[in-house]
Structure 1
Amino acid sequence: MKTNPGRFFEDYRMGEVIRHAVPRTVSGGERALYHALYPARGALYSSDEFARDSGLAASPLDDLIAFHTVFGKTVPDISLNAVANLGYAEGRWLLPVWPGDTIRSESEVIGLKENSNGKSGVVYVRTRGQNQRGEVVLDYVRWVMVKKARDVPAPEPVVPDLRKVVPAAELVVPAGLDFSRYDFGLAGEPHRWGDYAVGEKIDHVDGVTVEEAEHMLATRLWQNTAKVHFDATNREDGRRLIYGGHVISLARALSFNGLANAQMIVALNAGAHANPCFSGDTVRAWSEVLDRAETSAPGVGALRLRLVAVKQGAAPFALKGEDGKYQPEVLLDLDYWALVPL
């Protein structure tokens, strides 16, 4: 058989390392399309001059361009037959991605657990994205629920012990980054690292209604071939599921209003796609400041932020009910570290 139906839960083995096809050279084209798809306005990723004044050689590609590119490579091998992408942990951006870099991905299976219904199971993988020099630019863990195709015995369950937070001491600040001459006027807001208090919540005010066309462009742009995003017959309700990364980028872009100076994502502590998003939903976002840390880079601090995306009908700062479950309007709960000027 020449065609590839994709992997099912029973096809994975503990410790297996999967090299993903196909390497991709990224350019300013990805940046232009990213900024067209999302209201992304971060100054460091919009202006070479701003980036040079911040100690970098030029403007790197947005952190989430790197994430989506690395993630997209993994889909044919990890989540082509997924029911849902469940979560993330231990993510670190280790090097900037520059126009002209060639990105490839590989994943190691670090956990397997069949669901009690016997029809699906959860696969845990650690994915590394590398550039053309073999340098790791991004490293993260994710877990995904994958269908079973054959009635075979379940493997011995293995659930990895994952850290809830990337320690601030392990955050990697790009070489040369210096915010001591940071131009708050050009960045768009005056708020410094010291202006944010742990426990503070920020309503980002704005909203974006998701359209089918832009979602399909996004999944194709990042070469995400998961069937639930493309094939409307793959779900019983006949609806195409909006790619979770699309919601992440929308929420991150919306957070500019209140967090314009959270310039670089350097770690992904945890993440959950709490409820499905479909075309026609209007996405809004709010953030909570979870922690603060200083770095060794001049003028650079770090904020640990919870980014929550919700859809229409959500109560202010809605998250979980008394039962501990996410409210039905909550789409995304993302915990990350970002670099901010002191």
Structure 2
Amino acid sequence: MTKTNAGRFFEDYAVGQVIRHAVPRTISGGERALYHALYPARGALYSSDAFAGASGLPAAPIDDLAAFHVVFGKTVPDVSLNAVANLGYAEGRWLQPVYAGDTLRSESEVIGVKQNSNGKSGVVWVRTRGLNQRDETVMEYVRWVMVRKRDLDAPAPATVIPELAPAVPAEMLVVPEGLNFSSYDFDLAGEPHRWGDYAVGEQIDHVDGVTIEEAEHMLATRLWQNTAKVHFDATFRPDGKRLIYGGHVISMARALSFNGLANAQVIAGLNGGAHANPCFAGDTVRAWSEVLDRAETGAPGVGALRLRLVATTGEAFALRGEDGKYLPEVLLDLDYWALVPM
């Protein structure tokens, strides 16, 4: 009897299947320190217990994307170990903050499958929930991934493509309990810009760039326990290169966006996202943002901005070519909601 796990292949998934992922992980301050070492993350709410306390929270939470990476990493051995690529995200919501001492685990439900025309792979859609030690859902999101087939002669399953909302409605966003930006300290946060200072359609060049190195992305991938072969095994791809974990690009772009969006403190929703082109060690990543929408919330002093965050190795504000396809230098196109002081 084989005791090792080769991972699931496309034909192993069926709509309605629920997967409980191993292994639960207790979060400590170490995750915060490593996250801030890997990325130039400077969000005041996540850096300072005192700032968080003045904003109505019991302590500084773990960065929203750090919590996302922990939840995501748990799913990899069951969802994307044999992936060709992670394709996109939708319907993501952060439902409550994660603090040091919380234990996170993940569950996923298969909500869609579609075999590709080449018969060698297919797309699998899953809805994933991250839960804490009290079985409370701290976040949820949908992602879809292209997965290889084990047996090319295996019959194609019935195609099921889930209907996904184009964006999380603003009224569905969850503001962390107690969050209050009425006495927000703009000096300590790093920038003076309020919710009302941003206009729909405004574009922001975040100016700075970071060159990705093999060592840091391998450390990040191990930290989040992401075991996808394309990130570890240089023999897995014909070009002999290891793909940079898409979450590494997301976090790098989000950290770079501090310059211009320092007060976009809390990620509350993930409307959509695409890893447009692969990223490799040696690439220099830059970021730019566009304001897509604004909304008020019921929390004191708290507003919401819907933002497009683009990571690129090229120029700011260049996204698609005349053919409508992403330009080859575009790495990430992410649509998300952030909570900001009004």
Instruction: State TM-score, norm by structure 1.
Output: 0.99
Deviating 4+ runs (over 2 angstroms): none
Measured in 1, the distance between the counterparts of 2:34 and 2:201 equals 35
Residue of structure 1 equivalent to 2:336: 336
Residue equivalent to 2:131: 130
Quote how far apart the aligned CAs of 1:73 are: 0.1
Which of these residues, 271, 276, 279, is aligned with residue 277 of structure 1? 279
CA distance in 2, matches of 1:188, 1:308: 22
- Corresponding residue number in structure 1 for 2:316: 316
Structure 1 counterpart of 2:339, one-letter code: L
The CA distance in 2 between the partners of 1:194 and 1:301, in whole Å, is 9
Q: 1:192 deviation in Å?
A: 0.2
On the 8 A contact 2:269/2:337 being kept in 1, the answer is yes
Number of aligned pairs?
340
How far apart, CA to CA, are the structure 1 residues paired with 2:14 and 2:159? 11
Question: For structure 1, which segment, 329-338 or 318-327, has the greater mean C-alpha deviation from structure 2 after superposition?
Answer: 318-327
Amino acid of the structure 2 residue aligned with 1:75: V
Structure 1 residue aligned with 2:78: 77
Q: Secondary structure at the match of 1:232?
A: coil
Which residue number corresponds to residue 60 of structure 1? 61
Which residue of 2 is the match for residue 153 of structure 1? 155
1:224 paired to 2:220: no
Give the deviation of 1:315 after TM superposition. 3.1
SS at match of 2:317: coil
Structure 2 matches for 1:136-175, cutoff 5 A? 136-150=137-151, 151-175=153-177
> What are the residue-to-residue correspondences of 1:236-251 with 2, within 5 Å?
236-251=238-253
Quick check: 2:287–2:316 contact (8 Å CA) kept in 1?
no
Query: Can you list the C-alpha shifts for 1:48-85, whole angstroms capped at 9, x where unaligned?
Result: 00000000011010000110000000000000000000
* Equivalence for 1:116: 117
- State the SS of the aligned residue for 1:213: helix
Q: Does 2:220 align with 1:215? A: no
Distance 1:6 1:270 in 2: 27
Shift of 1:9: 0.1
Residues 296 and 303, structure 2, Cα contact 8 Å, conserved in 1? yes
Q: Aligned residue for 1:199?
A: 201
Q: Deviations over 1:263-287 (max 9, x none)?
A: 0000000000000000000000000
| CA RMSD, Structure 1 to Structure 2 (Å) | 0.4
Question: Which amino acid letter does the alignment assign opposite residue 231 of structure 1?
Answer: D
Tell me, which stretches of 5 or more residues in structure 2 are unaligned?
Answer: none
Q: Secondary structure at 2:235's aligned position in 1?
A: helix
Do residues 325 (structure 1) and 315 (structure 2) align?
no
| 2:258 equivalent in structure 1 | 256
Q: Contact 2:180 / 2:301 at 8 angstroms: preserved in 1? A: yes
The one-letter amino acid paired with 1:186 is L
Matched, 1:87 2:88: yes
Cα shift at 1:322: 1.3
The CA deviation at 1:316 is 3.0
Q: Which residue of 2 is the match for residue 295 of structure 1?
A: 297
After superposition, where does 1:19-30 map in structure 2 within 5 Å?
Answer: 19-30=20-31
Maintained 8 Å contact 2:122/2:149: yes
Letter of the structure 2 residue corresponding to residue 173 of structure 1:
V
TM-score by length of structure 2 reads 0.99
Report whether the alignment pairs 1:105 with 2:81: no
